[in-house]
């Protein structure tokens, strides 16, 4: 008979992005447990197409903070992890396996496999971190200057940074960010968009109240307004050229 791990659910349902940390260091023992938890995430056909780079050096964190859009918490967090999709190791594995060079297909499917693998692994680590009393926040800004980040971290061909992750002991208690109504994301048997506009309108009211409380009344915009401003703007258009330079053929 299946049982429910209420503590795990409590952790999942109380996730908040933490951007301010106590000065306490995150020890090597904790780092190892986080990465071991990451390794136990599901992975396509056992390929385990990810690597993670831990960064504690203040100078390196300062450079990464600047490259990520001057996000000061990247510099200030005790531990910064860069989660990378990694098909490079698989070519090495293929060569070990048959005793001669093996080159992967390097196509869109392998790109997706590696991207999904690293996302699943990182989320495992995020949940593990919160279970251990740590806080974290993802840093997509690591892709702002992805060439420079790759050079700084010495990334070889077929490895690319997907996002960063600040980790440390929380020094803040931010509000829980509300999510869309369950009915907007859960579909039965077939995709149903007949009431999406209604669900979004209802969420807008909740979102406005959240933003107002979070900003002390300075921000009162809705989620739909934020998305209307965001989605027409092409973001990080340099990524395709970078990925092709790293050896992927997105076709």
DSSP codes of every residue in 162-219 = EEEEEEE-B---PPPPP---HHHH--SSS---TTHHHHHHHHHHHHHHHHHHHHTTS-
Residues 86, 33: Cα–Cα separation, whole Å = 21
* pLDDT tens, residue by residue, 171-221: 999 999 999 999 999 999 999 999 999 999 999 999 999 999 999 999 999
* pLDDT tens, residue by residue, 216-251: 999 999 999 999 999 999 999 999 999 999 999 997
Q: Is the pLDDT of residue 3 over 60?
A: no
pLDDT given at position 59:
98
In the chain, how long is the greatest CA-to-CA distance?
65
How does residue 2 score in pLDDT terms, banded at 50, 70 and 90?
low
How does residue 25 score in pLDDT terms, banded at 50, 70 and 90?
very high
Residues 1, 3: Cα–Cα separation, whole Å = 6
Q: Is-contact 217 75, C-beta < 8 A?
A: no
What domains are defined for the chain? 9-174 (3.40.109.10), 182-220 (no CATH)
- CA distances to 8, 37, 105, 127 from 3, in Å: 12, 21, 43, 19
Own/partner pairs for 221-225, CB < 8 Å, 24+ apart? 224/200
* pLDDT tens, residue by residue, 38-60: 999 999 999 999 999 999 999 99
How does residue 1 score in pLDDT terms, banded at 50, 70 and 90?
very low
**How many Cα atoms occupy the beta-carbon half-sphere of 72 within 13 Å?**
2
How many helices and strands in the chain, by DSSP H and E? 11, 4
Which residues lie closer than 8 Å to 3 by C-beta, 6 or more apart?
none
pLDDT given at position 5:
63
pLDDT given at position 215:
96
Residues 149, 180: Cα–Cα separation, whole Å = 34
Cα 54 from chain centre:
15
How does residue 4 score in pLDDT terms, banded at 50, 70 and 90?
low
From the list 113, 116, 119, 159, the residue with the least C-alpha distance to 140 is 119
159-175 mean pLDDT: 98
Q: Which two tokens stand for residue 221?
A: 């915009």
Beta-bridge mates of residue 86: 159
pLDDT given at position 251:
79
């Amino acid at each position: 008979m299946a049982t429910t791990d209420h503590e795990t659910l409590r952790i999942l349902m109380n996730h908040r992005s933490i951007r301010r940390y106590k000065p306490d260091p995150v020890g090597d023992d904790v780092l190892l447990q986080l990465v071991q938890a990451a390794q136990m995430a599901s992975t396509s056909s056992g390929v385990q197409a990810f690597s993670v780079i831990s960064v504690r050096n203040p100078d390196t964190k300062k450079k990464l903070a600047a490259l990520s859009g001057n996000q000061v918490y990247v510099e200030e967090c005790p531990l910064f992890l860069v989660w990378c999709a990694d098909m490079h190791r698989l070519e090495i594995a293929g060569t070990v396996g048959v005793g001669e060079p093996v080159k992967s297909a390097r196509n869109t499917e392998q790109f997706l496999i590696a991207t999904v693998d690293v996302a699943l692994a990182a989320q495992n680590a995020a949940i593990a971190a919160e279970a251990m009393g740590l806080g974290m926040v993802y840093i997509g800004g690591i892709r702002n200057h992805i060439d420079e980040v790759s050079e700084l971290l010495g990334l070889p061909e077929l490895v690319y940074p997907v996002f960063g992750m600040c980790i440390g002991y929380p020094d803040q208690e931010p509000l829980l960010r509300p999510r869309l109504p369950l009915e907007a994301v859960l579909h039965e048997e077939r995709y149903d968009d007949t009431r999406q506009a209604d669900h979004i309108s209802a969420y807008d009211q909740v979102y406005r109240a959240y933003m107002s409380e979070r900003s002390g009344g300075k921000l009162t915009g809705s989620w739909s307004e934020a998305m209307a401003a965001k989605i027409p703007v092409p973001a990080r258009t340099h990524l395709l050229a970078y990925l092709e330079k790293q050896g992927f053929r997105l076709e």
